[in-house]
Structure 1
Amino acid sequence: MSDFAGLTALVTGGASGIGRATAGLLAERGARVAVLDLDPSAVGPPLLAHRADVTDDTSVRTAVAAAVAGLGGLDVLVNNAGTGAQGTVEDNDDTEWQHVWDVNVVGMVRTTRAALPHLRRSAHAAIVNTCSIAATAGLPRRALYSATKGAVQSLTLAMAADHLPEGIRVNCVNPGTADTPWIGRLLAAADDPAAERAALEARQPTGRLVTAAEVAGAIAYLASPLSGATTGTALAVDGGMQGLRPRPVKR
């Protein structure tokens, strides 16, 4: 496909996992792509790489300006940078709540705010936010993370309403448990990594973790000019976890 030919895209958190898969896919489909990340050292051509800390407004504005200058404009913003947290409401202190909220929610605000003047000049402007199944399903020991992702889904709807008159579409993807470096670190820290992985796989009706490439495909769908009538949508990429209640398989 070449639906992104002639377009430019910016992906935050684009040095690994879902962000890296998304940046690569957009480039394969014709876009000129820049990546923003805390450590973009592993990113090489054809992707452009810029260091940015989404918790720092000056860092974000500087990186977005440099990326747009290098790209020659901006058509697509993928707000993918994020961090995780485990625990009930008792387990995370105020400092961790503030940090995760600052990355997952306010970080999207900072990046979008810096990108909007450039997106307004595009005839195919689109923003895609990476949300989570945690926004729509009650997951154990994910209170803080779920709170931020619930905010991201609501923020997506509000942004879609605000910027529709400007010709900017805003959507989000809601991945299930995805096979990313963060999940890999959680599994490595578990008492029984194999059993923990099996439990995560079992709660998704497909019986496996979501791949980064599958989430990237959904992001590309929402960002593509071919989806010009799609805005204010949360697209689940979760192996059926949100809506399906399959009957147990008899053995």
Structure 2
Amino acid sequence: MSALPRVAMVSGGNRGIGLAIVRELLAHGWRVSVGTRSATDAFDGHDPAQVRAYRFDAEDARSETDWVAATVRDFGGIDALVHNAGILSTRSVIDADDAEVDRLLEVNVKSPLRLTRKAWPHLLAADEGKVLVMASLAAKRVRTADASLYALSKAAVLSLAHGIRHCGAESRVRCTALCPGFVATDMAAGLPPEQQRQTTRPEDVARIARTVLELPASASVAEIPISWTVEPQY
């Protein structure tokens, strides 16, 4: 396929960080295939040749297969895959039952793994394929017991991103993990008002995401921590 206009698949692209990434990419000439679990009117009025929404449910492996196939059918290929969909847990690794652990890992880890496998042949066929994984600063440190189960899943996501990066080394498919802290989305709704005013904006993350996706393969970036405040990195 030609290098431009490039095609990106973005999971969870109908709200929050995902929607900001979709809008950022569209504003800079990308075509975008949006995966969303529920119907959305976020793209009504847009040219379907530029952006389309498809059913994607991280707990339904068949929807992953169908989404990849529909993207290739309607857009002609895949240049980038953005793993943004995910769920939150506020349970500790001790308190959570097996069902919650399994669901968190299914949505946050196993689905991105399966989706990458299914899109891989098309990423290899692109001029310079890209995978962007939305991890979290929680992947890099555990601050409280209540955040520990979520952190476990995001640490696995971060390792997945590094694994994908190594798998694409020879083929020039590049993978980057974005690791934001609190972002002004629904997930940060419980923060104190003063902190909510200071948190990273979805649009900030989207700008970084686009920059990474547009870097040449000769500039491989493994991970980018993003925080609304200065904090020690360890």
Shared fold (TM-score greater than 0.5)?
yes
- Cα distance in structure 2, aligned partners of 1:74 and 1:7: 8
Residue aligned with 1:148, SS: helix
Cα shift at 1:242: 4.6
* Percentage identity across paired residues of the two chains: 28
Question: Given the alignment, which residue of 178, 181, 192 partners 1:197?
Answer: 192
Matches of residues 118-137 of structure 1 in structure 2 within 5 Å?
118-137=122-141
- 2:69 is matched with which residue? 65
Say yes or no: does 1:229 pair with 2:182: no
The CA deviation at 1:228 is: 2.7
Please identify, of 154-163 and 125-134, the stretch whose mean Cα deviation from structure 2 is larger.
Answer: 154-163
Alpha-carbon shift at residue 240 of structure 1 (Å):
4.2
Tell me the amino acid that sits aligned with residue 175 of structure 2: V
Residue number in structure 2 paired with 1:168: 173
Tell me the CA shift for residue 87 of structure 1: 2.3
Shift of 1:181: 2.0
Per-residue deviation, 1:169: 0.3
Q: Give the match for residue 191 of structure 1.
A: none
Paired with 1:150 and 1:54, the residues of 2 have a C-alpha distance of: 18
| Partner residue in 2 for 1:151 | 156
Shift of 1:5: 4.4
Distance in 2, matches of 1:32 and 1:241, equals 35
**Cα distance change of structure 1 residues 26 and 40 upon mapping to structure 2, 3 Å threshold:** farther
- Deviation at residue 209 of structure 1 after TM alignment: 0.9
* Superimposed CA distance per residue, residues 169-188 of structure 1 (whole angstroms, 9 cap, x where no aligned partner): 0111001111112333xx2x
Offset of residue 114 of structure 1 = 1.3
Match of 1:248 in 2: none
Q: Deviations over 1:11-67 (max 9, x none)?
A: 001110011100111111101111001014233124210011122221110111102
- State the SS of the aligned residue for 1:142: helix
Structure 2 length-normalised TM: 0.90
Q: Which residue of 2 aligns with 1:138?
A: 142
How far residue 151 of structure 1 moved from its aligned partner, in angstroms, is 0.8
**Match of residue 81 from structure 1:** 85
The answer on 1:20 being equivalent to 2:10 is no
Amino acid of the residue matched to residue 227 of structure 2?
Answer: D
**Alpha-carbon separation, structure 2, partners of 1:14 and 1:40:** 11
Give 3-state SS (helix, strand or coil) of 2:152's partner. Answer: helix
Unpaired runs of 5+ residues, structure 2, are: none
- Per-residue CA deviations over 1:76-115 (Å, capped at 9, x if unaligned) read 1101110000022233211011001100000111211111
How far is the alpha carbon of 1:243 from its aligned partner?
A: 3.3
> Is there any run of 5+ residues in structure 1 with no aligned partner, and where?
188-195, 245-251
Q: 1:160 to 1:242 in 2, by over 3 A?
A: farther
Q: Which residue of 1 aligns with 2:112?
A: 108
What TM-score, normalized to structure 1? Answer: 0.84
Q: Please identify the structure whose Cα radius of gyration is greater.
A: 1
Q: Do the aligned partners of 1:75 and 1:125 also contact (CA within 8 Å) in 2?
A: yes
Once the two structures are superposed, residues 175-209 of structure 1 have per-residue CA deviations (whole angstroms, 9 ceiling, x without a partner) of 1111112333xx2xxxxxxxx4258x29xxxx811
- Counterparts of 1:230 and 1:55, CA distance in 2: 34
- In structure 2, relative to structure 1, the CA distance for the partners of 1:36 and 1:88 (3 Å cut) is same
Distance 2:151 2:198 in 1: 21
For 1:129 and 1:40, the matched residues in 2 are separated by 23
How many residues end up aligned between the 2 structures?
Answer: 226
Q: Shift in Å at residue 128 of structure 1?
A: 0.4
